Structure formats: structure tokens, C-alpha cells
Structure 1
């Protein structure tokens, strides 16, 4: 958003954005090249704020709604998710699965999720023909009574309500086309944040006597546009770390930038380790990756009659140190082992994986969270924090605060644009005019020679950022040509 430094030639009533803005520095005469860098940054921040704030507004609103989905799930689906009593020992997984299959014999058994706490139900997940892509039927079973508490159509273990809010945040329920909105927001958010920080810190540098307070505390003595700018910038400073984190983690699972990130993980061999699920005696060499949702979407007709294997696999996994919630997936072929994956993404996370030979109860392979490459760890931790899972309720509160703060920053940014409108002369414009066009001509040659390849590389790494920036440059250039012809 347009956080512009104060201009001694501009009053709060009349704004002439075409006038050059002096570089806030202690030097007596700032060089033209330094002014060019400053002016170009102001123009980029202004236009990015004006045109991309609507995307950020949608992301903030939908993300804010998503943060409360765990509480909404308990409110809406409490009968399915919770048990009424916890007395006695739970039944075996085999008995619970048989109860679920008796009530819902349709489809095939995909995997089973153990209860997160003693007050939760067991989830028996079925692949059922006719459902949408990646959708499954989850049957909720009371582990103490074997009573089927209900069933829901789920997406990677998410309830219908959470899935709806997830889709709203990711793509506005518009499929792949809608995903562009969230990638635009994530791609430009870090540019706006870093640009705003440079502008605000540069302004404070020119006021050394109160620079620290001026950076971190809004100026209540100011009025008009200066007061709005102070609130806008100071709030942005406090939110900067969180906003940069949301931008980075959002890009890792976006469409185009996410593909680039995946290529980076491939190049540096930083993916989460994959487990070989083939049994040692099978003679098969194919490696089948275990993951957070191992086995999702796969049919397991061969394992339907051998539900006792779930208890064997669970016991072996517990002996191997896998505590908390685990996902148990039966083998797809006779020569495969059972897959057991920890799904504990609350700090300190536990994401170990094992494969088990149900005939002998032996663990045939073990992947430990501590052995994950650094980038794989950071990616999983970042995604968990982005979803409000990593630190539980505290994580949700922080995300909600960031979302509300971003809404305020956007509101104050547009208010500045309105407050900077001319009120005494040049009344043809109803809002503040943009900083001067053509500031790139004032850049020193070394900046141009280094900047152009850097921007091109950035555009390759973040394709949506590159395409939208190129589109803006083309439109802005054409607008400049038209304006010059009108003046001529």
C-alpha cells in the first residue's frame, strides 16, 4: 500500500505527485541516481498497493474465516467427532472396522485414523465410487462401544465445513482458475511488505532524533494523511514477519510457484524421505512413498478381509515409538507391507513413518522426522503454521491478529489515496495521483545491469509475479505514450 514519505512541497490539502520527492537522508545533496531508486520504489509500492490490495483483502477475509474451523467443526460435527464416555478399554481396530463396514458396506477400505484423544472417535475411511475427486466417505466409530456415530464426505480427513472454507481461501470455489487469486496475493505480498519497510525506515532515518519511536509507534500528534500513513506503516512493521511467513508458506503449495519449489527440492534432494513398502521377501524393488496421507484414493480390496492386520500394524508401530494419531494403510498388493504414518503436526511435531509386515509383526522400514532434510522440515512446519495447527489455539489467535491487521493496513492505504486527492487545484482527479512515471531512467547503470537479470530470475521462480509485473509495465508504457500524445 502507498506509504509515501512526507514532501515539504506538498500540503495536506493539495498533492502534486509529479513533483520530485527528496530522498530522506542526512546528505546535503542526494545524487540523482539515489533519487531514482527511491522514486521507483515509491511508484512500485503505490501501484502494487492500489491494484493488488483487493486480492489481499480476499485472502485476509477467507483466511480469517478458516482460522476458526477447528472450533466450528466441534460445534457442527460434535456428534460424529466426540464420544460420550471414555470408561473402560477401547475395542480392537478390527472390531471397530467391522462395525463401520457393517453399517457401510459400500466401496473399499482405504485407511484408518486412530483417535487424537481419548474423547475422540476412530475414523474408518472408505473409497466409494461416484464421489468427487479426492473425496471419501469417513465413518466415525466410538472406540469404547463400537457404535457408529455417523459418516461424512471428507477430503484428506477434513470435514465438509472445513473443506468448504479451505476451497474458499484457496480458489474462491472457482477451481484451478480461482487459485490464481491466492497466488497473486502470495506472490506480491512480500514485495509490498519489504517495499513498505524500506520506505518507512528510510523516512525515519531522516528523523534520527525519534527514529525508533517513529518506526514502531504511530504518531498521534499528526493529522490528515500523515496520521493515516503513520498508522498504515507502523501496523505493517509489526505485521511484517507474519506476513512474510504467510507469503512464503502460501507460495510453497501454490500452483506455479509451488512447481518451482518442488523442482528446487528435487535438485537439492530435500524431499521428505520415501519408504519402500515392498516386503523383503517379495523381491520387488519399487519404492512407494509414504506420506501424511499415504494411501489416499487407493483401493484396497485385497485387505478388506484381513482387518486383523490393522491391530498388528498398530502394535508394531507403537513398539517402534510412533505415538499419538497414526494413519494405518493396508497394502495394495500381496508383496507390500502395511504403512503407518504419524499425523501429529502440533509442536513439537511427530511425523515418523514405518512399514510393517503384518504376518510377522516386524517393522521393515522406518523414516524418522529427525532425519528429514532441512528444507523438507521447514516446508512442513511452515504449512502447519499457515493452517493454524503448529501451535494450537495460540497459532489460531496469531493468524487472526495478522488477518485483522492486514485488513486495517489495506483500509488505511486506500484512505491515504483518498486523502491525497487535490482539493484546490486540478480537481479533475478524485483520488491522489501516482508518483511520477519514468523514474527508471534515473537509475544508475549498475542497478539496471544487475536489476534486470535479477527481476527476470524472480519472474521465473514466481511466474504469476513475473507475468503480472510484465503486464503492468506494458500497460503503463502504453498509457505514457497516450498521455504524451495528448499533451503534444
Structure 2
């Protein structure tokens, strides 16, 4: 699956050409089918704002009324009636658009999560949806882990890493050794027929998509389940990801009404030393029942408060909290994780298209005091970069144009997979894998070897598979690789 156009003066017999082609072949053979899956699922998820109201019009869309909307507590009380006893409200979606329903997420006694949708004007229940079986959630889980759980997540991480090898070797195969016209290098020669035509299309399309493909991989890897989590931990420890103090040391806790606000001497010291313990047993933001959480705060521990049986202590209402958020500048499109225990706090996550507007807030469930407001300004350099990359990757940053660009890149990568497969199928000898033959003489290629070693160190999971592919290639395919036409 060479990426070299026939118009390029770089000849297939040049030193190192077949070695690069061989690695390009193995990388592409592995990632091709997954790139098609990623292209389809990623494009669907990119257009979620337009598609979901079409998929669930009777649940998500309402007719605006002249009467005022019911308050959040009244709507939550109505939502409880739609579910069996024992269901616990975990999340509230705050949406102020006049034509959108109100949504609350509950955890059922059997562990499932169920969304309840209501007409915000009269409180009527419009229906329910299993959160994990919602179409967009299924699409997202296919995109991230092929619905295979942790093994699928690791597999898709490997796909992303091997895509880097495919892109790098593809560019190297395309790169001209001598002078060549830009038209010959960048525009496919449609006058050709058969495999030369497919090769010309593949090479030209590949070089046009290379930069976008690299951006897709680079912005997707921080969200992977293995490397992404380790990368987030490293960025946090270096104060380049999450805000300072996010992993313990934040003296945040929900204060019971009537508790003294001033502590001195031994009490202050004891409170400071136990602040980390308040957070240690708690969940991180990534563990919270929230649909979306900014990457930079994913590792932040959610503050907790001591249990209290004090008489007359009552949490503030959801309506009060929403009013407080409105005063603080949050009006629409955010989620609230509701406290489900006496030591919990209200956790508000605002994940808009513009990363500079991202906010994560913790609010005392008893007094309504704002414990902390984390915004883009508090992120480290890496956290800020990942936030922008995520918004671009999801097609959110500059509206419809961003969505169309992401769709074009996605289906361009799918087209590369298809053209590469056709090229391989045309030249593949019957009954063999059809891998390109090795160089006749040893080629050092120190730069490429160093790059692969560096890639294997940076991505350990990929490093293991690089060694495995090299060993299998030497042991199994060293004698069976048939000569292939360029």
C-alpha cells in the first residue's frame, strides 16, 4: 500500500523504500477497518446537536408555551413519579431553550441509569431512555472501545498509535527525492487505469489528509483509557494539566449549617491535615455521573463533607442552586451532579464549545457557599491545549464549518482505507499475505529506527506490539513474502 505517486521521481528500488513500504503495509493492514468505524461513528457523534432531536423528537423537543416554566424542584418531583421506588436522582441537565425538554438522570435499584424527560411548562412526563442504550451513547462507546469494554479501549488506543506509523511512513514514501511538479505530487492522475490510478488517488489524497489525520490522533489520544490517563496524571503532577492542588491539599468541604466558620490553633491544624482525607475516599470528576467533563479537571477529587445528624439541617434546593448559577453567569447547557449522601456537594460542569468558557464548580449542599470555581484560567499549559484540541476534534469550536471539516477528514481517512485495500487486493498474489519484499541489502535507516523506538517508549502499549510485529515478520513472513509490483 505504497503512498508514492508514479509521477514522483522517487523510484521503488531506492534504498529504504521497501522497508518503509513494508511497515506502511503492516500499519495500514491493521488500522484500515478501524479507521472506517472511527470515521462513521465520529461523524455521527460530531453532528449530535442536529441528530438527537430528530432521533427522539417526542422526548427532547417541546412546543414553547406562554406560561412560565416550572421550577427545577417541581420538575424533579414529577420525574420521580415516572420511576420505581428506590431510584436515586444523580444528575440534572439545565437547558433554558424554549423548545427543549427538562432532563433528569436516575440510578435505578438494579444499577441501570435512566433519563426522564418532562415538558417544562406543565410537568408532564414525555418518556424515559436508558442512558447506556441511547443512540449517541452507543455510538460514542463504539468510537472509543467498540462496545468491548477495557479490551476494546486498549485496541482503539493501539489503532491511534499505529495510525501515526502509517502516516509517517506514507509521507516518507510520497516524499520526492528529486524535483517534481507540485501538480504531479498533489493532484491524482485520472488518465491512468487499474492499480496505477488507485495508487495516484491514494497518494494525493493521503498527503492532503496527513496534517488533519495527525491532528485527529493527537487530540484523541489524551482521552484514551490507558495512555490518556497516565498522560493526565503526569501533566497534573507537573502542574501542566489540572489546576494546582487538584490532587489533595484543597481544603474544600461542605460545611454543615451552624458549624463555626473560624477555627484556630489545633483545630485549624487538624482541619488542614484532614483536608486530603476528606477527598481521598471520594470520586474524581471522571467518576461523577456527568455526561461530559473537561479533560483538565478529570483527575480533580470531588470534595466531601462530614456526615451530620444535626437536627434542622436541610440542603439548599435545586431551584436555589440554579438561581445561584444564573447570578454567577451560567444560564444554559450545563449539568449538575446532585449530592446523593450527607457528605456530598453539588458539582456543576459546564462544557461549552469555547474552551475559555469551561467551568467546574463545587457548591456546599447545606449553605450554598461556592467552594471552588475552576475555569480555563486555572488550567496548566497542557490542559489548555487539550481543551482546544478536544473542541476541534468534536467539531464544536467554530460551529457547522468545524463539523463539516471533521466529517471531510473522517471520510477522507475512510477513503484512504478503501483505496489502500483495493491496491493491495489487485496486486496480492493468491493465497499469500502479499507483504512487500525486504531490501536485497541491509539498510541502516537509523533515523527511522530511532523514531520507532521513541514512539514505543512514549506509547508503551504500542512498543510491545512493535516488537511483536517485528518478531512475527522475521519468523513467519521472511520467506513467504512474495515480490510485489510498485
Change (3 A) 1:73 1:432: same
Alignment of 1:207 with 2:179, yes or no, is: yes
Change (3 A) 1:86 1:182: farther
Contact 1:355 1:363 (8 Å CA) reproduced: yes
Helix, strand or coil: the match of 1:365? strand
Contact 2:357 2:376 (8 Å CA) reproduced: yes
Distance between the aligned counterparts of 1:432 and 1:6, measured in 2? Answer: 24
| Residue 347 (structure 1) aligns with | 354
| Residue 204 (structure 2) aligns with | 234
Helix, strand or coil: the match of 1:103? coil
| Residue 279 (structure 1) aligns with | 254
| Residue 80 (structure 1) aligns with | 59
Distance between the aligned counterparts of 2:440 and 2:201, measured in 1? Answer: 27
Distance between the aligned counterparts of 1:271 and 1:177, measured in 2? Answer: 27
| Residue 418 (structure 2) aligns with | 411
Distance between the aligned counterparts of 2:206 and 2:323, measured in 1? Answer: 50
Matches within 5 A, 1:163-312: 163-200=137-174, 202-203=175-176, 205-208=177-180, 210=181, 212-273=182-243, 274=246, 277-279=252-254, 285=275, 286-287=278-279, 291=285, 294-295=288-289, 309-312=317-320
Match for 1:21 among 8, 12, 20? 12
| Residue 393 (structure 1) aligns with | 400
Contact 1:116 1:324 (8 Å CA) reproduced: yes
Q: Deviation per CA, 1:454-477, whole angstroms, max 9, x where unpaired?
A: 534422332342222212211111
| Residue 463 (structure 2) aligns with | 466
Distance between the aligned counterparts of 1:480 and 1:292, measured in 2? Answer: 44
Change (3 A) 1:100 1:362: same
Contact 1:80 1:150 (8 Å CA) reproduced: yes
Distance between the aligned counterparts of 1:277 and 1:140, measured in 2? Answer: 33
Q: Deviation per CA, 1:246-295, whole angstroms, max 9, x where unpaired?
A: 22233222233224323432342333334765135585623467747745
Helix, strand or coil: the match of 1:441? coil
Helix, strand or coil: the match of 2:241? coil
Distance between the aligned counterparts of 2:5 and 2:51, measured in 1? Answer: 44
Distance between the aligned counterparts of 1:289 and 1:206, measured in 2? Answer: 58
| Residue 146 (structure 1) aligns with | 123
Q: Deviation per CA, 1:35-55, whole angstroms, max 9, x where unpaired?
A: 23x443232113322343233
How far off is 1:22 after superposition?
4.6
**Normalised by the size of structure 2, how large is the TM-score?**
0.78
Distance between the aligned counterparts of 2:335 and 2:287, measured in 1? Answer: 8
Contact 2:241 2:384 (8 Å CA) reproduced: no
Match for 1:372 among 367, 379, 385? 379
Match for 2:77 among 79, 93, 98? 98
Distance between the aligned counterparts of 1:302 and 1:439, measured in 2? Answer: 78
Distance between the aligned counterparts of 1:8 and 1:333, measured in 2? Answer: 67
**Normalised by the size of structure 1, how large is the TM-score?**
0.78
How far off is 1:438 after superposition?
5.1
Distance between the aligned counterparts of 2:463 and 2:370, measured in 1? Answer: 48
Distance between the aligned counterparts of 1:419 and 1:380, measured in 2? Answer: 43
